[in-house]
Amino acid sequence: PVKVSKICCIGAGYVGGPTCAVVALKCPHIQVTIVDLNQARIDAWNSADFKLPIYEPGLEEVVRQARGRNLFFSTDVDKGIREADLIFVSVNTPTKKSGVGAGFAADLNYVESATRRIAAVATTNKIVVEKSTVPCRTAESMRTILEANSKPGTRFDILSNPEFLAEGTAITDLFKPDRVLIGSLQTQEGRDACEALAQVYANWVPRERILTVGLWSSELSKLAANAMLAQRISSVNALSAICEATGANIDEVAHAVGFDSRIGPKFLRASVGFGGSCFQKDILNLVYLSESLHLPQVAAYWRQVVEMNEYQKSRFSKTVVDTLFNTITGKHLAVLGFAFKADTGDTRESASISLIRDFLQERAYVTIYDPKVDDAQIWLDLSEALPSWPIETIKKHVSIARSALEACRQKEGIVIATEWKEFKEISWQAVYDQMSKPAFVFDGRMILDVEKLQQIGFTVKVIGRGDRL
């Protein structure tokens, strides 16, 4: 196998940035260049004061150590490609918005452009690695494009190396991955390319955690892992509805169920619904794949995981309306948290957006606070969620606060949408004192000390907790 000495990563986003920054940190002998077409993003990665384009605990430290040593960020995509012997393709693969498969299939336009660029520019052999999450057999299309457009004598080996990091814990996930998965063709050349990439990871990942499989299995495993993780959340959320109706407590149920070593305790937290850029997109992609393969029962099975999630979000908004005496028109609500989970500034598919949309459609006034999301992002997301509302109308109904305490001032209801730790620690007594009574708190993340809040005087509604004792 070739010894990799120069790596290029196409796509400086949530995956490409942290992943290749960690490769650079752990492999000082390899030069890593992360390229992107987005000048603003690259400028932020290069910024003198380390104002990086994404917030991720521990990331700044990694970039501080490696940047300028063997880690570089650039918009010169062609140079990056030309110099590298291994290229990660880590571009976005969002759900298609129009055309065949709209709303389900992955939009592979960015993967194709990046692949065509590699073919056009490369003058030496390259190992091309799919890092993006793609439908099964995308590697085949990449190979066809590369081979049809390459210079004579240049060879391409294609690997699949899906990324399993979760946002908010990306750096620890990358430092100590449960596994690294590499898929390759089972030919001598395929296995050699696989070994070349495995040697890069072996600089810090124990060999037994580096799994090597066939290309198609690797591609499908990524969709499968996300589908099964999301399915656990939808299962627990479905049970949370039963808890609310019966007086059972989902925390206790999940604890009891998770004690079974075959089930395990992780990822059983009921919530206001899962968000993030991956789960919904990847399941819809799996649904589309199943339908294309004429497997309608399989498609329906996975589709239900997403439908349950939609139900969970709307069920929670309905609880808020029902509890506030069946109307929130003209009422003032605080929504704490806008990111799709704690420890990230990412808002893609955040449940918070759906809740706020529902509240605005009921003509409530909403004050939002999130410690890491920029105002501009909030306005953009709300405009997209309410396409028929002019931004001035949205701004008449929504304000953004600088602290949780400020957001909660003189509200009729407070909604916890993201599990930021600081929401547990605000002075709930102070919040209570200036709320109109009865004072309602809706905990969509099960983070608050309910008994304490009840003692203060709040009426507390918690996801998955029945009122009937």
List, by residue number, the catalytic residues: 278
Q: Which of 8, 56, 3 is nearest to 36 (CA)?
A: 8
Least spacing, CB of residue 131 vs ligand NAD, in Å? 6
Q: Is 285 in the site for ligand UDX (CB under 6 A)?
A: no
**Which of these ranges, 261-269, 319-327, 364-372, 383-391, lies near ligand UDX under the rule CB under 6 A?**
261-269
356, 368 in Cβ contact below 8 A? Answer: yes
**Which of these ranges, 64-72, 89-97, 266-274, 457-465, lies near ligand UDX under the rule CB under 6 A?**
266-274
The residues in 152-171 that bind ligand UDX, with binding defined as CB under 6 A, are 163-167
Q: Which of 309, 296, 249, 181 is nearest to 446 (CA)?
A: 249
Q: Is 313 in the site for ligand UDX (CB under 6 A)?
A: no
**Which of these ranges, 84-92, 212-220, 225-233, 319-327, lies near ligand UDX under the rule CB under 6 A?**
225-233
Least spacing, CB of residue 457 vs ligand UDX, in Å? 29
How many CB atoms sit inside 10 A of residue 176's CB? Answer: 11
Contacts of 117 (CB under 8 A, 6+ apart): 10, 77, 78, 81
**What does DSSP say about strands 31-35 and 71-74: parallel, antiparallel, or unpaired?**
parallel
DSSP H or E segment with residue 399: strand 398-400
Considering only 55, 267, 311, 432, the residue that binds ligand UDX (CB under 6 A) is: 267
Of 81 and 243, which has the nearer Cβ to ligand NAD?
Answer: 81
Residue 453 three-state SS: helix
Q: How far apart are CA 115 and CA 128, in angstroms?
A: 9
14 marked among binding-site residues: yes
72 marked among binding-site residues: no
For helices 279-292 and 215-246, give the axis angle rounded to 10 degrees: 120
371 binds, among ligand UDX, ligand NAD, none (CB under 5 to 8 A by kind): none
296 marked among binding-site residues: no
Least spacing, CB of residue 170 vs ligand UDX, in Å? 8
Least spacing, CB of residue 199 vs ligand NAD, in Å? 23
Considering only 8, 91, 180, 278, the residue that binds ligand UDX (CB under 6 A) is: 278
Give the neighbor-by-neighbor strand order of the sheet with 86-89: 71-74, 31-35, 6-10, 86-89, 126-130, 156-160, 180-184, 210-214
How many CB atoms sit inside 10 A of residue 188's CB? Answer: 8
Q: Is 275 in the site for ligand UDX (CB under 6 A)?
A: yes
Binding site for ligand NAD (CB under 6 A): 10-16, 35-38, 41, 77, 90-93, 110, 113-114, 132-133, 163, 165, 167, 277-278
Residue 161 has, within 13 A of its CA and on its CB side, a CA count of 29
Q: How far apart are CA 309 and CA 293, in angstroms?
A: 25
Q: Is 276 in the site for ligand UDX (CB under 6 A)?
A: yes
92 marked among binding-site residues: yes
Considering only 88, 274, 302, 458, the residue that binds ligand UDX (CB under 6 A) is: 274
267 binds, among ligand UDX, ligand NAD, none (CB under 5 to 8 A by kind): ligand UDX
12 binds, among ligand UDX, ligand NAD, none (CB under 5 to 8 A by kind): ligand NAD
Bond prior to 438 in cis (omega within 30° of 0) = yes
Q: How far apart are CA 142 and CA 198, in angstroms?
A: 21
Please give the residue ranges that form the binding site for ligand UDX (CB under 6 A). Answer: 163-167, 226, 229, 233, 267-269, 271, 274-276, 278-279, 340-341
User: From the annotation, which residues make up the binding site?
Assistant: 11-16, 36, 41, 91-95, 132-133, 167, 278-281, 348
